[in-house]
Amino acid sequence: MRVRARELRYSIAQREILAGLNFTLCEGETTALLGPNGAGKTTLLRILAGELTPQGGEVEFFGMDAKSMARHRAVLPQSSSLTFDFTALEVALMGRYPHNKGRETKKDVEIARAALNEAGVEHLAERIYTQLSGGEKQRVHFARTMAQIWEEPRLLLLDEPISNLDPAFQHKLLTTAKTFAARGAAVLVILHDFNMAAQYAEKLLLLSGGKLTGCGCACEVLTPESIEAVFQLKSAVVPHPYLNCPLVLPLNAKPNC
Amino acid sequence: MAKIGAKGVLVLGGALLGPVALGVLAVGAVGVSPSEVAWAMWSLVSGAEADTSSAIVSDIRLPRVVMAALVGAALALSGAVLQGLFRNPLAEPSLIGASNGATLGAVLFIVFIEGRIHGILPSWTLKFALPTAAFAFALLATRVVMRLASRQGKTSIATLLLTGVALNAWVGALVGLMFYLGTDTQIRAITFWTLGSLSGSGWWNVAILAIFLLFPLFYMPRLSRELNALLLGEAEAAHLGVNVQKLKTKAVAAVALAVGAATAFTGLIGFVGLIVPQMLRLWLGPDHKTLLPAAALYGALFLPLADAAARTLVAPAELPIGVLTSAIGAPVFLLLLQKSQAS
């Protein structure tokens, strides 16, 4: 059971954004999507999310009909524009909409609470969403997306989920995502931080100019050569002194400390 | 306000309907005691001989109260739906062109048509000719606004809002032009139309309006979950399986039908569609599942009360209802706004 993309193509006004991508997202695995601005990461995510239809190629979702994926595919945006005074629990319960046709069942409430718990915000369940901090809001939405795809098969798409969070929240969120993947979800997360990707993702996809220039584990994808070629960034890659993964050290800065 | 829960608010509203109806039936230019109201109700049901005060209640006041309740429910519910659709608690029913279109239809009818068909058509049809013109223009205007705000089958909510604002200004200019062209009688008719009135509500009007409102009043609350999801954002709603474009079309069509029909019979009654949902949202929270039925219920309570005040404050004359709703509505709205800012 997996999500498989074949020869994905997409262009806007003659400009090719995605030029024939092939990759697989496996259940139980966290995949990080890396690449410079304008590489096509967001376009790819929007195709996987069903917002855009690819002009060439196809995506196969667990062998299911792509039109009825709301119970099996959830998307966490970078930030959300909700400005109405729902409670955090009510927001999480919205994730259950594709599952209940009328009223929320007891099971829906249980799942929403479990998802809030998983995201580490169960203590905020009765609080008003709009009064929460940015990091808390993001985790409430994370709970909503997990509640949406509580049962298998499932695909979780995270669009730069940590860019507005402080370091502790960044690690918490990715830990939760990894745990969620380990329980049987295919997780794709757009990241900008090489080391976060190296520490949390089993597989890395490196996207550059609409093509996949790297695909594999962190030690295969994150090399000084590939980083220089894709990001025009000089760096050293050393083994992480404490964790079993590579550590990328950009070398552009000239500090005078 | 006290926390009595969402269900409590609905039950309270339902329980208030009866007493409010009896109360507003008793007040007016001619004093009628509550026992006489009860007797009039009884004679209406049983077909017993009606005296003068029963006749006032059952033939004049009752259809008017029912009309007020229907219009109040339609405007408040439409306002709540549009506020969800625009994801803005300050949206109101006039934004999608229906009430402006109705105004345009009514004003053009008053100035150019009414005098000409006088004596040609049977006189009873005249009473319905103006609402027909207003209603037709309401639907037409909404269609045009939707069309202008859509590209390649996708409606932009921001463009919809701006198009509604533009139409508002344009209709305002046309109404001004009609003031210039019209006779004194016509100008008076236009003025009263734009201020709204529930006078002249007979059982026929009530029956026709009820038929037009039946569908939107029962249909709109069914959109509550999709509207909740839309509050997250359009993309987020789509990820939750909502067909966002279909939702926009459904909501706008239902609102156009409800506002168009209500406005066609009563003229412009401002602020109900803004203030009733707004107050309920402060009280109940933003969940459309309770907000939409509550808006319909409390709209049906609010407008008969406002109309009762309009009938009695300057009796035997009448205040235009639109003047009254705005006069009460605006300060109450400000008060609530201040209160919610303070907390």
Q: What is the pLDDT of residue B329?
A: 80
Q: What is the pLDDT of residue A243?
A: 93
B248 is in which domain, residue-wise?
Answer: 2-342
- In total, the C-beta contacts within 8 angstroms joining chain A to chain B are 61
Sort out which chain A residues have CB atoms less than 8 A from B341's CB and list them.
none
Interface of A with B in 147-176 (CB under 8 A): 148
Residue predicted with more confidence, B29 or A171: A171
Look at A98 and B225 and tell me if their CB atoms are within 8 Å: no
Domain count of chain B? 1
The ipTM estimated for the assembled molecules is 0.91
Q: What is the pLDDT of residue B2?
A: 44
Nearest Cα residue in chain A from B285: A85
Evaluated on CA atoms B47, B53, B56, B58, the torsion sign reads: negative
Look at B233 and A84 and tell me if their CB atoms are within 8 Å: no
Look at B232 and A81 and tell me if their CB atoms are within 8 Å: yes
Does residue A1 belong to the interface with chain B, where contact is any CB pair within 8 Å?
no
Residue predicted with more confidence, B54 or A104: A104
- Residue B210 CA to residue B233 CA, distance in Å, equals 34
Sort out which chain A residues have CB atoms less than 8 A from B234's CB and list them.
none
Look at B233 and A73 and tell me if their CB atoms are within 8 Å: no
pLDDT tens, A148-169? 999 878 999 999 999 888 999 9
Task: Report the predicted TM-score, pTM, of the whole model to 2 decimal places.
Answer: 0.90
pLDDT tens, A175-211? 999 999 999 999 999 999 999 999 999 999 999 999 9
Q: What is the pLDDT of residue B3?
A: 56
> Mean pLDDT over residues A212-238, rounded?
94
Look at B238 and A51 and tell me if their CB atoms are within 8 Å: yes
Helix count (H) and strand count (E) of chain B? 16, 2
Residue in B232, B235, B285 closest to A94 by CB: B232
Residue in A70, A82, A90 closest to B241 by CB: A70
Contacts by B159-167 with C-beta closer than 8 Å and gap 24+? Answer: B160/B86, B160/B95, B160/B96, B160/B252, B161/B86, B161/B91, B161/B95, B163/B97, B164/B94, B164/B95, B164/B96, B164/B97, B164/B100, B165/B95, B167/B97, B167/B100, B167/B101, B167/B141
Q: What is the pLDDT of residue A8?
A: 94
Residue in A68, A81, A85 closest to B285 by CB: A85
Q: Return the CATH number at B45.
A: 1.10.3470.10
Q: What is the pLDDT of residue B226?
A: 95
Q: Specify which residues A249 forms β-bridges with.
A: A236
Does residue A242 belong to the interface with chain B, where contact is any CB pair within 8 Å?
no
- Residue B84 CA to residue A100 CA, distance in Å, equals 21
Average pLDDT, chain A: 92
> Cβ atoms within 10 A of the Cβ of A244, count?
10
Of B71, B64, B307, residue with least CA distance to B202: B64
| Average pLDDT along chain B, 343 residues, taken 10 residues at a time | 71 90 82 78 74 78 93 96 91 88 93 82 80 94 94 90 91 91 91 87 90 96 95 94 95 95 92 90 90 96 92 85 86 77 67
Q: Which residues contact A62 (CB under 8 A, 6 or more apart)?
A: A1, A2, A3, A72, A153, A155
Look at A97 and B229 and tell me if their CB atoms are within 8 Å: yes
Radius of gyration, CA atoms only, chain B: 20
Question: How many Å lie between the alpha carbon of B88 and the closest alpha carbon of chain A?
Answer: 9
- Residue B330 CA to residue B271 CA, distance in Å, equals 8
Sort out which chain B residues have CB atoms less than 8 A from A86's CB and list them.
231, 285-287
